[in-house]
Amino acid sequence: MSILARLERLPMSRPQYGILFAGGLGHLFEALDIVIIGFMLPHLKAEFGLDNAQIGLIGGAAPVGMIIGAVLAGVVGDRFGRKRVMLYALSLFCAASIALAFANGFAFILAVRVVGGLGAGAEAAIVSPYISEFATGRNRGRFVSGVTLFFSLGNVVAAVLGSLVVPLPGGWRIAAVVCGLPVLVLLWWRRSLPESPRWLLSQGRVADADAVVTRLEERVTAARHGAALPPVPPAAVVAPAAPAVSWSPLRVWRGGLARVSVATWLGSFVFLFAFFGFFTWMPSLFLEIGVDPGIAATYSFFLFVAQPIGYLVAIAVSDRFERRTLLVTFFGFAALASIALGIVPRDSVALLLIGMVLSVCITCISGIVFPYCSEVYPTAIRATGAGLASTAGNAGGLAAPVVIGLTFGSIGFGGVFAVMAALLALGGLVIRLFGPRVTGKTLEQVFAAETAPIPAGEVHARQ
């Protein structure tokens, strides 16, 4: 009886949701770390007498670490396993968060922010591949999309801590500890998680994979109060490809995967450019175009409130429709909303309403692009592929604030959103042209479809 067929027939129940929750909490703490530092920076500047250049370096330290962490997580996760990377990444992040509370100067803060970024970047890159390898072709979209909802929850927690705790005397140190200590509990929980059975099979560890699936079957049966599991489907599940021998990240450009990497890299770059560009700059842009400060603050609040709507929409539709089509659609809607935002009257409530539409469209993309990037590569290099796509996205996120600042200075508010619209349209076009179809397929069937044009003898040699 095929191990993968047994895994694919399992109904969703408490054990799988426990895996989802343990992975999603990592995204919550990642978002918390990204946002909370913005509340801390003015206090760090005042306490340590830092100049604007030093504050800028501190603000950019974690994203730089995240780029490196995402690459390392992918390569190491494919070689040594998903679970190990998840534990080490979370340990780095936890240590850096708590260490920040004991900072005594610029160099120390910069160092712990880079280390924390390494952990956060590795965490972000490895969780989606890990969770996707427990999901079935029937429900993988909403299962992995559910992880992204935790990112939005992390933003809310950061706003609460940043508003209520950080302004207190020594509050930024307290907030750093509060961000780090709960991660210790999550680390203890993750120690009990199983390794991915798909990764075990890709390494030839059939007995270990069988043990993981057997235990999961037992737990699902218990969660269903002893109800019989569905029968194993008679159709054979495509076997996972054999592990690649090279550690080179260039593996994702070989064996029929070049088109896939074009789609995931450019799609991720454009998405995170739009995400960080819009949510970082919009509060300031409201003020720059003459919106009253009180109204601007209210508008900015509603832009962030709209975020969970997008994630919930993504969860609701990601298995009902083809995910490639959904990405193209949401990229297109976001491009149209960007154009509208650039030309709407500045004193109109339409400015807020269109901004909220753009916020929802961008977070819809977020809820689908992460699962998509984790399901379009074969098991042996899935973490590497997802990690490199995450790295491309982080590069877009780093570039966005700088590019938008320069663009606003030269061609104004309308020009900013014209550029963003063009990029969003490009992202949708690239995914439509080069991205594979994935909805309803097992991970192995996705890879088989990608390599179908290759001569049969060469495909069999890789399996």
Mean pLDDT of 29-53: 86
Maximum mean pLDDT: which of 16-25, 89-98, 149-158, 323-332: 323-332
**Gap between the Cα atoms of 446 and 78, Å rounded:** 18
* pLDDT top residue among 60 and 43: 43
* 236 pLDDT more than 70: no
Confidence of residue 459 (pLDDT cuts 50, 70, 90): very low
Residues 358-408: tens digit of each pLDDT: 999 999 999 999 889 999 998 889 999 999 999 999 899 888 878 888 888
| Residues 6 or more apart in contact with residue 350 via CB below 8 angstroms | 344
- Taking the CA atoms of 335, 336, 337 and 341 in sequence, report the sign of the dihedral they define: positive
CA–centroid distance for 82 within its chain: 16
Mean pLDDT of 114-131: 91
Please measure the distance between the N-terminal and C-terminal CA atoms of the chain and give it in whole angstroms. Answer: 19
Taking Cα atoms as reference points, which of 84, 93, 88 lies closest to residue 193? 84
25 burial type by CB count under 10 A (0-12 exposed, 13-18 middle, 19+ buried): buried
pLDDT of residue 102: 95
Q: Which CATH number fits domain 3-223: 1.20.1250.20, 1.10.1380.10, 1.10.260.40, 1.10.3470.10?
A: 1.20.1250.20
Strand (E) positions, 12-167? Answer: none
**Gap between the Cα atoms of 15 and 266, Å rounded:** 35
CA–centroid distance for 235 within its chain: 33
Amino acid at 77: G
Residues 295-321: tens digit of each pLDDT: 887 888 888 888 889 999 999 999 999
pLDDT of residue 109: 94
Helix runs in 203-306, H state only? 206-223, 258-288, 293-305
**Gap between the Cα atoms of 202 and 207, Å rounded:** 12
pLDDT of residue 105: 92
pLDDT of residue 239: 55
* 279 pLDDT more than 70: yes
Share of the chain above pLDDT 90, in %: 48
pLDDT of residue 332: 97
pLDDT of residue 345: 86
| Residues 6 or more apart in contact with residue 187 via CB below 8 angstroms | 87, 90, 91, 94
Token pair, residue 397, equals: 């996120």
pTM for the whole structure: 0.86
* 457 pLDDT more than 70: no
Domain positions in the chain:
3-223, 249-450
* 57 pLDDT more than 80: yes
pLDDT of residue 460: 38
Contact 254, 27 (CB under 8 A): no
**Gap between the Cα atoms of 308 and 18, Å rounded:** 21
Per CATH, the number for 249-450 is: 1.20.1250.20
Contact 365, 278 (CB under 8 A): no
Amino acid at 250: L
**Gap between the Cα atoms of 416 and 280, Å rounded:** 13
pLDDT of residue 462: 37
pLDDT of residue 177: 93
Residues 160-187: tens digit of each pLDDT: 888 889 889 999 999 999 988 888 888 8
**Gap between the Cα atoms of 78 and 95, Å rounded:** 24
Share of the chain above pLDDT 70, in %: 93
**Gap between the Cα atoms of 74 and 92, Å rounded:** 16
String of DSSP letters for 81-108 = -HHHHHHHHHHHHHHHHHHHTT--SHHH
| Residues 6 or more apart in contact with residue 77 via CB below 8 angstroms | 84, 85, 125, 126, 129, 383, 384, 387
**Gap between the Cα atoms of 291 and 296, Å rounded:** 6
Residues 9-34: tens digit of each pLDDT: 999 899 999 999 998 898 888 888 88
pLDDT of residue 305: 81
* 245 pLDDT more than 70: no
Residues 131-143: tens digit of each pLDDT: 999 998 888 998 9
CATH topology identical between 3-223 and 249-450: yes
pLDDT of residue 317: 95
Residues 255-268: tens digit of each pLDDT: 788 999 999 999 99
**Gap between the Cα atoms of 136 and 439, Å rounded:** 10
| Residues 6 or more apart in contact with residue 215 via CB below 8 angstroms | 194
Amino acid at 382: R
Taking Cα atoms as reference points, which of 8, 460, 66 lies closest to residue 234? 8
Taking Cα atoms as reference points, which of 266, 401, 424 lies closest to residue 342? 424
pLDDT of residue 240: 57
* Mean model confidence pLDDT for the chain: 87
Q: What 3-state DSSP class applies to 436?
A: coil
pLDDT of residue 106: 93
Helix runs in 291-322, H state only? 293-305, 307-317
